[in-house]
């Protein structure tokens, strides 16, 4: 007769997903009492760990009404939850395994279950704990609910090879064939590329109900444009007021922050679509921190917002230089006679239509841009603003959920981040806020995402992304 299987949950699993105790349908789930001791240490924190530990404790408290947690309480999914104690009988363990470490005491509890005849599956997100469990002969695995790999996460676009003759049509027939044979998601981009020439292509966005929109570079009066097809996709979403949530993902140098800032500035200053632009990013240092910074909140934020200042300086410099005589003459086609004068006058008006861009500090004084600390955004409602949150890979899913819920009437929020460069020790590719948020909103008509994979910063930046 096969032994009864029990899934034993580590502390980190409960801190990662407070609902994990309900996700083993029809199974026996065990939580070592030492895990409760660890949860108690975290419950006072104002972090996600604190929030999740309190959620788990509330779940367990409500389950007490159904019976004894030590003997086992039936769950709505047909499973049973038990709180596990250290084995009453002596368990043989390697002498080098010190029992002053909580992880080792949890493993001791699991060894006691094995001695009692249970088929134990230890569920932990701690790599070292899983390795030690394996050494002790305990079957261990990661908690995989909602797990997203770099190979399978939703990138927001797909591409197909078609005959070049099809690209001469406004709506190639292949689009309808793609709908029939492939599961397209609302606001997913489709690249139709010539069989023989990768530079010959057409770009479309699926709108749902078998409808497509042909996509091209937005017609801006500023002398800035996309450098690759993924950047065109990003700008298409950023300028579409019906898409209220946009996520931009990709390695360093792909233009995520730059594109989001460009679209926000243009819609605030040139189009006046939003009253102001709000920019924020997590305060997580790269490498050892330099300690507390002096000054007011704005003075402290200046250091953390330096990448925003850098991008703003580049945009302002390019736009303002483009409005000078040399700028708009340089890019003009060469014509003869009066036609040249007309073209030059037209180009000049195009560049001067909306005036020069002021410095970031000046725009902040005018109330057109604000730099905010994420810490102080809880509880707010932000209407009629273009909101950019940068470096979102360093935020937890709960923090991202809180930020998105701050978006008020007439606002748009853009989340940008590199899921391959995570500075928070408690997050990975699968569990960070921008990847989880992208996966949660996938298929919603007010949401769109683009994964940008081509670095445009420099040859060195592109090379380091490829070989490191």
**pLDDT tens for each residue of 312-343:** 899 998 998 875 544 444 444 444 455 555 55
**Rounded mean pLDDT, 46-75:** 93
Domains, the chain, ordered by start? 5-141 (3.40.50.1010), 216-313+353-467 (3.40.50.300)
Contact 266, 292 (CB under 8 A): no
The residue among 380, 362, 124 whose CA lies nearest residue 265 is 362
Please give the helix or strand (H or E) that residue 53 lies within, else none.
helix 48-63
| Residue 367 reports pLDDT greater than 70 | yes
* pLDDT digit string, tens, across residues 3-16: 799 999 999 999 98
Lowest mean pLDDT among 25-29, 208-212, 360-364: 360-364
User: Could you tell me how many residues make up the chain?
Assistant: 468
* pLDDT digit string, tens, across residues 97-124: 777 888 888 999 999 999 889 999 999 9
Matching residue, tokens 């990975």: 428
Give the predicted TM-score (pTM) of the model: 0.79
The residue among 217, 193, 191 whose CA lies nearest residue 204 is 191
CA–CA distance from 332 to each of 6, 225, 226, 319, 326 (Å)?
A: 73, 16, 19, 16, 10
Q: List, in sequence order, the alpha helices (H) in 68-208.
A: 102-115, 127-135, 174-181
Tell me, what's the pLDDT at 324? 55
* pLDDT digit string, tens, across residues 394-438: 998 888 999 999 999 999 999 999 999 988 877 889 889 999 999
* pLDDT digit string, tens, across residues 215-272: 999 999 999 999 999 999 999 999 999 999 999 999 988 999 999 999 999 999 999 9
Contact 204, 184 (CB under 8 A): no
Tell me, what's the pLDDT at 138? 94
The residue among 282, 268, 347 whose CA lies nearest residue 315 is 268
Contact 105, 34 (CB under 8 A): yes
Q: How far apart are CA 454 and CA 461, in angstroms?
A: 10
Tell me, what's the pLDDT at 457? 76
| Residue 354 reports pLDDT greater than 90 | no
The residue among 369, 258, 276 whose CA lies nearest residue 313 is 258
Number of CB atoms found within 10 A of residue 87's CB = 16
- Euclidean distance between the first and the last CA atom of the chain, given in angstroms as a whole number: 51
């Amino acid at each position: 007769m096969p032994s009864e299987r029990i899934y034993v949950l580590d502390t980190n699993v409960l801190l990662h997903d407070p609902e994990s105790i309900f996700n083993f349908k029809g199974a026996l789930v065990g939580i070592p009492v030492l895990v409760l001791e660890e949860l108690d240490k975290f419950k006072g924190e104002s972090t996600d760990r604190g929030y999740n530990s309190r959620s788990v404790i509330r779940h367990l408290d409500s389950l007490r009404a159904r019976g004894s947690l030590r003997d086992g309480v039936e769950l709505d999914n047909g499973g049973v939850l038990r709180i596990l104690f250290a084995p009453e009988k002596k368990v043989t363990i390697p002498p080098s395994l010190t029992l002053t470490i909580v992880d080792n005491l949890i493993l001791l509890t699991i060894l006691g279950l094995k001695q009692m005849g249970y088929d134990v599956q230890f569920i932990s997100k701690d790599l070292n704990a899983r390795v030690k469990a394996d050494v002790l002969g305990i079957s261990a695995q990661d908690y995989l609910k909602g797990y997203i790999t770099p190979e399978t996460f939703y990138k927001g676009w797909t591409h197909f090879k078609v005959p070049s003759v099809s690209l001469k049509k406004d709506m190639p027939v292949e689009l309808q064939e793609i709908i029939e044979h492939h599961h397209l998601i609302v606001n997913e981009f489709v690249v139709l590329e010539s069989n023989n020439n990768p530079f010959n292509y057409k770009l479309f966005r699926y709108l749902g109900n078998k409808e497509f929109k042909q996509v091209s570079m937005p017609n801006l009066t500023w002398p800035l444009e996309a450098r690759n097809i993924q950047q065109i996709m990003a700008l298409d979403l950023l300028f579409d007021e019906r898409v209220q949530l946009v996520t931009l993902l990709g390695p360093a140098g792909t233009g995520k922050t730059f594109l989001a800032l460009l679209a926000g500035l243009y819609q605030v200053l040139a189009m006046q679509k939003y009253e102001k632009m709000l920019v924020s990013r997590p305060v997580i240092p790269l490498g050892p921190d330099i300690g507390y910074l002096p000054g007011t909140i704005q003075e402290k934020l200046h250091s953390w917002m330096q990448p925003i200042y850098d991008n703003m300086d580049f945009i302002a410099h390019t736009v303002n230089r483009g409005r000078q005589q040399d700028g708009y003459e340089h890019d003009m086609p060469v014509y003869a006679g009066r036609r040249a004068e007309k073209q030059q006058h037209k180009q000049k008006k195009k560049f001067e239509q909306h005036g020069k861009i002021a410095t970031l500090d000046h725009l902040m004084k005018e109330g057109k841009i604000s730099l905010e600390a994420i810490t102080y955004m809880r509880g707010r409602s932000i209407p009629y603003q273009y909101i950019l949150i940068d470096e979102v890979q360093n935020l937890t899913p709960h923090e991202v959920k809180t930020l998105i819920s701050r978006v008020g009437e007439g606002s748009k929020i853009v989340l940008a981040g590199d899921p391959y460069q995570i500075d928070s020790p408690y997050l990975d590719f699968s569990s960070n806020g921008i990847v989880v948020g992208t996966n949660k909103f996938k298929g919603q008509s007010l949401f769109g995402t683009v994964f940008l994979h081509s670095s445009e910063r420099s040859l060195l930046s592109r090379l380091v992304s490829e070989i490191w």
